[in-house]
């Protein structure tokens, strides 16, 4: 038997916002899909020297090899120990403050990563480049922000550090924050992604100094960057605007803070996904309400034609759907593959969304462009708990697919969905109707080996013929 059309959920963004590799920016799309090189396994923390501890904490920042400095360098050791007198003596004796280690790490980066304010000031006086980057693009400013050394970060900005640079990281860098305790505002989002088993593979993407401050929830640093002329809508090189990251934290306060400082509520990723789509997909109600307050477009479409209602229907329960509808979101729009939110909810097996869509007026007969109707989808998938609500809402019980001309009853019989078959029969579905090849639902059930079900249908057929 030919399989019915398989509907594609808009959140299976497998080619998009990242793989965060199919993960985060599958929630995030736009991530570079280069295959990372193998990362060496880190030694246990207890076996590491101070500089190795820095690397242990930071090594997943890059998709390639662990950044190595000159581990035996006395100069590096004095930076870690925050012994500024020893550092100056070593430099006077000939140690090179401009030395660059593997991964393109500089002495200034090490000082910034460890929050050594006096060393940062000293190396800047000596002319160590403030905006030098590791091979993955990390600057001293970004390292200071990531390691939560706010004063060092402010000092670097005061000395002209580039607040707009971005760097490449692997998804494992973000996932690892569940265990390091950094980026506390991102924990809920990461857990949702992991619970939904989207963490397959690995991906690379770009984050900026502003991104890091947002993930830290550090309003002071965000404001300091904006005060220094950073555009609140400046995207990473791959096109992800800052507000996307704020919405992904699930924090309405952080989202509001950026909006009040000029962030555009409708600035999308290159794939057309808006902050409201991300907030809706992850079920962040208060963030959604905040974005709506700032005039987010409820009917914007992404590159695949999905609206916020499509995203709410795929993952979220009933609460957001009613909120979106109340503020003017259209609930029966088709995406580029012809799927309505109701079809998406059925395909995603999201009964709460199905029932709420019907309650707020979704058309139960608006089919996909190939004429596949919501009732055909529910019958084929054996969603017996949704058959009666669809029929009660006015779903056409004798709708047929465009190819085999089978009714919902015939599809349910072919798949052996006994409860669906009986509900449809009680609801008035025709047992005498025939498909394109002249078969009844009873014939189809028998052909597929569902003999008890076929006998039930033949009994119904006999009663009809009498």
For residue range 282-327, list pLDDT tens digits in order.
889 999 999 999 999 999 999 999 999 999 998 765 589 999 999 9
Q: At which residue do the structure tokens 């060092």 appear?
A: 152
Q: What pLDDT is recorded for position 179?
A: 67
* Domain-located, residue 457: yes
pLDDT band (50, 70, 90) for residue 74: confident
* Domain-located, residue 416: yes
Residue predicted with more confidence, 32 or 56: 56
The sign of the dihedral angle between the CA atoms of 177, 289, 297, 361 is positive
Q: What pLDDT is recorded for position 203?
A: 56
Q: What is the rounded CA–CA span in Å between residue 273 and residue 266?
A: 9
Nearest to 344 by CA among 369, 368, 319, 365: 368
In angstroms, what CA-CA distances link 119 with 42, 49, 92, 94, 113?
27, 20, 15, 17, 11
Mean pLDDT of the chain: 82
pLDDT in tens, 186-223: 777 777 766 655 444 445 678 899 999 998 889 999 99
Contact assessment for residue 269 and residue 279, using Cβ atoms and an 8 Å cutoff: no
Q: What's the structural domain count of the chain?
A: 1
Q: What is the rounded CA–CA span in Å between residue 184 and residue 192?
A: 14
Q: Is the model's pLDDT at 246 over the cut of 90?
A: yes
Q: What is the rounded CA–CA span in Å between residue 322 and residue 333?
A: 16
Q: Is the model's pLDDT at 464 over the cut of 80?
A: no
In angstroms, what CA-CA distances link 366 with 119, 125, 226, 349, 375?
67, 69, 47, 18, 10
**Beta strands 204-208; 27-28: pairing state:** unpaired
Chain-centroid distance, C-alpha 245 = 10
Q: Is the model's pLDDT at 28 over the cut of 80?
A: no
* Domain-located, residue 412: yes
pLDDT band (50, 70, 90) for residue 17: very low
* Domain-located, residue 443: yes
* Domain-located, residue 424: yes
User: At 453, which CATH number?
Assistant: 1.25.40.20
pLDDT in tens, 408-425: 999 999 999 999 999 999
Output DSSP code: residue 16. S
Q: What pLDDT is recorded for position 64?
A: 37
pLDDT band (50, 70, 90) for residue 24: very low
User: Containing H/E element for 205?
Assistant: strand 204-208
Q: How many CA atoms lie within 13 A of 257 on its CB side?
A: 21
Token duo for residue 61? 């920042």
Domain range for 394: 382-466
Q: What pLDDT is recorded for position 1?
A: 32
Residues 6+ apart with CB under 8 A from 187: 177, 178
Q: How many CA atoms lie within 13 A of 422 on its CB side?
A: 7
For residues 41-66, average pLDDT: 37
Q: Is the model's pLDDT at 182 over the cut of 80?
A: no
Q: At which residue do the structure tokens 């052909």 appear?
A: 447
Which of 86-100, 200-214, 236-250, 406-420 is the most confident on average? Answer: 406-420
Which of 131-140, 166-175, 190-199, 387-396 is the most confident on average? Answer: 387-396
In angstroms, what CA-CA distances link 453 with 398, 423, 441, 443?
19, 13, 10, 10
Task: Point out the least confidently predicted range of 22-31, 59-68, 175-184.
Answer: 22-31
Q: What pLDDT is recorded for position 281?
A: 86
pTM: 0.81
Q: What pLDDT is recorded for position 465?
A: 53
Q: What pLDDT is recorded for position 201?
A: 44
pLDDT band (50, 70, 90) for residue 168: confident
* Domain-located, residue 115: no
Residue 432: how many CB atoms within 10 A of its CB? 11
* Domain-located, residue 376: no
* Domain-located, residue 453: yes
pLDDT band (50, 70, 90) for residue 104: confident
Residues β-bridged to residue 28: 25
pLDDT band (50, 70, 90) for residue 73: confident
Contact assessment for residue 210 and residue 225, using Cβ atoms and an 8 Å cutoff: yes
By three-state DSSP, how is residue 73 classified?
A: coil
Q: What pLDDT is recorded for position 202?
A: 47
Q: Is the model's pLDDT at 431 over the cut of 60?
A: yes
Query: CA torsion 205→242→150→68, rounded to 10°?
Result: 10
% pLDDT > 70, the chain: 79
């Amino acid at each position: 038997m030919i399989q019915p059309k398989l509907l594609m959920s808009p959140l299976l963004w497998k080619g998009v916002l990242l793989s965060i590799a199919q993960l985060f920016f599958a929630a995030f799309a736009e991530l570079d899909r280069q295959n990372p090189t193998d990362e060496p396994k880190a030694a246990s923390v207890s076996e590491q020297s101070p500089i190795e501890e820095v690397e242990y904490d930071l090594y997943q920042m890059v998709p390639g090899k662990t950044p190595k400095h000159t581990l035996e360098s006395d100069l590096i050791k004095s930076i870690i120990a925050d012994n500024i007198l020893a550092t100056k003596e070593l430099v006077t004796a000939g140690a090179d403050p401009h030395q660059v280690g593997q991964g393109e790490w500089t002495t200034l980066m090490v000082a910034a990563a460890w929050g050594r304010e006096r060393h940062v000031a000293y190396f800047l006086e000596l002319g160590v480049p403030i905006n030098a980057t590791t091979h993955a693009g990390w600057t001293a400013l970004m390292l200071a922000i990531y390691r939560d050394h706010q004063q060092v970060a402010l000092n670097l900005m005061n000395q002209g550090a580039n607040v707009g640079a971005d760097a490449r990281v692997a998804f494992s860098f973000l996932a690892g924050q569940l265990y390091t305790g950094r980026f506390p505002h991102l924990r809920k989002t990461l857990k949702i992604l992991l619970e939904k088993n989207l963490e397959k593979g690995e991906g690379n993407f770009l984050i900026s100094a502003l991104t890091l401050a947002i993930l830290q929830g550090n309003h002071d640093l965000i404001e300091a960057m904006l005060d220094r002329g950073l555009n609140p809508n400046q995207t990473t090189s791959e096109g992800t605007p800052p507000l996307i990251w704020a919405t992904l934290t699930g924090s309405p306060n952080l989202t509001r803070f950026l909006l009040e400082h000029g962030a555009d509520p409708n600035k999308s990723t290159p794939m057309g996904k808006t902050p409201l789509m991300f907030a809706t997909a992850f079920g962040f109600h208060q963030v959604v309400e905040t974005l709506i307050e700032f005039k987010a477009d409820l009917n914007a479409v992404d590159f695949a034609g999905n609206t916020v209602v499509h995203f709410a229907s795929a993952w979220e329960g009933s609460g957001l759907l009613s909120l979106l509808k109340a503020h003017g979101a259209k609930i029966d729009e088709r995406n580029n593959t012809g799927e309505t939110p109701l079809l998406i909810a059925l395909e995603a097996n999201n009964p709460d969304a199905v029932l709420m869509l019907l309650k707020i007026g979704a058309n139960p007969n608006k089919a996909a462009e190939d004429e596949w109707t919501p009732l055909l989808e529910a019958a084929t998938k054996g969603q017996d708990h949704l058959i009666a609500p669809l029929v009660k809402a006015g779903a056409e019980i004798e709708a047929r697919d465009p190819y085999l001309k089978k009714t919902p009853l015939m599809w349910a019989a072919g798949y052996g969905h006994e409860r669906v078959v009986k509900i449809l029969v009680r609801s008035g579905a025709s047992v005498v109707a025939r498909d394109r090849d002249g078969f009844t639902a009873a014939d189809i059930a028998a052909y597929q080996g569902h003999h008890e079900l076929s006998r039930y249908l033949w009994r119904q057929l006999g009663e009809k013929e009498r």
